[in-house]
Structure 1
Amino acid sequence: MAKQGYVNLLHARIPAGTADTAPMVAARADLLSSGVYLPLADALAKVASEHVENGMVIDAGAGTGYYLAHVLDAVPAAYGLALDVSAVALRRAARAHARAGAAVWNLWEPWPVADSSASLILNVFAPRNASQFHRVLTEDGLLVVATPNHGHLRELGDLVISVDGGKDARLEDTLGERFTRVDRREVTQRVTLAPDRIRQVVEMGPSAHHLHRDGRRERLDAITGPVDVTLSFSVTLYRPVS
């Protein structure tokens, strides 16, 4: 057990650019603490309160544990497990909620979690391992997948990785054999972001790995005033197929 409260079960090396770096985690933590993505967190918490009374909630690709903490607040009898490949992120996730633990793990490998042990799996902008989702969920468990919609952050252009229109089809292809979609909820709003928040939006995700290309860093640094941007997400609910 690390002194920060998480356990590292991953001993194999992972490809460069896979895990979130310390600067990416810091940018995400700062942005989330500002409340910019609170509508999404509230939507996930509402789903959990409607469908889950107790048991284990696994956040697959938990990052800092922000969304898991909101869900656990909404379901007082539940407890949580944050799984992520980034030890840097899990230092924060381990402290995100009193009823949550955190373990470093590669989501593409078989999870160190018992069969049929989770009442709810959260998957927020993270890899989707359908076979492991299905294995660890109870028969009446719920999988909740949050994805960015086409047009999310569109005002920032190529400073962020764009969401193409085929993402929904790929999601269904990934999960369709093992899960049935039971609901979908949309979370969309317009917000005004100051330059420091725009920088955090860009630097907290995969786009951070590409800022050295095509003058993107220079264009990001050139933003000196507030920008109105679109935040748009889908929250999709699935039940496992027996």
Structure 2
Amino acid sequence: MSKNENNLERFQLLAQHEHVFACPLCFNPLKVIAYKSFVCSSGHCFDFAKQGYVNLLTRPYQTKYDTSLFAARQHMNAIGFFEPLISRISESILRLMQPHHESLRILDAGCGEGSHLKSIQNQIRERAKIAPLGVGLDLSKEGIKMAARGTSNAIWCVADLARCPVMERSFSVILNLLSPSNYAEFHRIMADDGIVIKVIPESDYLQEVRAALNPNASRKTYSNEKIRELFKRHFALLEMERVAYRIALKKEQLHHLVQMTPLSWGASESLVQQWMNQEQAEITVDFSIMYGKKR
């Protein structure tokens, strides 16, 4: 399939599900016009990008996340770095959302370059023989451009989580993986029988990287208690689980690991180079997953 054919297919998918989307300025419904633009009844217009995504920001934003970070994260996802986490989430979605499998709509709030959402969609498709709609939102245009490459049953939008450009109660699953949250918006856009899934790093996450690149910071006590309490103030906690494992990485993979994490931003160049020059290393991966629903 050519790039133009893939983009047409993406915009056809967008037209098929246009009723899910709302204007980020006035929150009136958006309509697809000639597979070229989103237009609301107030006349606000958002053109589709030739790369296969739609920019629904009301003003430009600058983020610290660049193409090299997203490419590194995509590479780490491809080698299975996040596989145990993705597998657990996919299993839990199918278990918790019975009997609503056929109508699953998943929104990834803070999707980055889209690899987590794509992997979860693929696993659900393989396990349950269904194809849930996926919508990925992120402030970073570079991340969304990368997400829109290739084929998938997903719609990619540059958007602000503080003004999610989707209709009320339109998603059965809200994903929020290692990303900032806007719980008021999550509550607004989540279906009454839906779930929100938040993933946060735990105390041992990338402890080897932290110890090497920020030796003083690594000695500080790490706690997610405030994040957990904030989540529980907004949603009824269905369950919480910890996913921890170790993975062996080779030199090239260690290079990508450093590139994908902000842990290297404050580190000296000598420490970063010393870390990346290792031939291999065992890395600790440590997450908590919280599953919530409306009260």
The two structures share one fold, judged by TM-score above 0.5: yes
- Classify 1:196/1:60 alpha carbon distance in 2 versus 1 (closer, same or farther; 3 Å): same
CA distance in 2, matches of 1:77, 1:228: 35
CA distance in 2, matches of 1:204, 1:96: 21
Pairwise CA distance, 1:158:
4.8
Q: Deviations over 1:181-233 (max 9, x none)?
A: 1111222111111122112112112234334x374333334x32211121111
CA distance in 1, matches of 2:182, 2:283: 31
**Paired residue for 2:286, among 232, 235, 239?**
232
**Paired residue for 2:271, among 213, 216, 232?**
216
Gaps of 5+ in 1: none
Q: Which residue of 2 aligns with 1:193?
A: 249
CA distance in 2, matches of 1:146, 1:85: 19
| Matched AA of 2:280 | P
CA distance in 2, matches of 1:142, 1:136: 11
Q: Which residue of 2 aligns with 1:12?
A: 59
Report 1 or 2 for greater relative contact order, CA contacts < 8 Å, sequence distance ≥ 6. Answer: 1
**Paired residue for 2:132, among 78, 91, 99?**
78
Percentage identity across aligned positions?
26
Q: Which residue of 1 aligns with 2:93?
A: 48
Q: Which residue of 2 aligns with 1:63?
A: 112
SS in 2 for 1:176: helix
- Classify 1:210/1:13 alpha carbon distance in 2 versus 1 (closer, same or farther; 3 Å): farther
| Matched AA of 1:5 | G
Are residue 179 (structure 1) and residue 228 (structure 2) matched? no
Are the equivalent residues in 1 in contact too, given 2:63–2:140 (CA < 8 A)?
Answer: no
- Classify 1:191/1:77 alpha carbon distance in 2 versus 1 (closer, same or farther; 3 Å): closer
CA distance in 1, matches of 2:213, 2:293: 36
Pairwise CA distance, 1:96:
5.9
Please show how residues 21-170 of structure 1 align to structure 2 within 5 Å.
21-52=66-97, 53=101, 54-73=103-122, 74=124, 76-95=130-149, 98-107=152-161, 109-156=162-209, 157-159=211-213, 165-167=222-224, 169-170=225-226
Task: Answer with 1 or 2: which has the greater Rg.
Answer: 2
Pairwise CA distance, 1:24:
0.4
- TM-score, with structure 1 as normaliser: 0.88
**Structure 1 vs Structure 2 CA RMSD:** 2.1
| Matched AA of 2:256 | Q
Gaps of 5+ in 2: 1-47
Are the equivalent residues in 2 in contact too, given 1:191–1:229 (CA < 8 A)?
Answer: yes
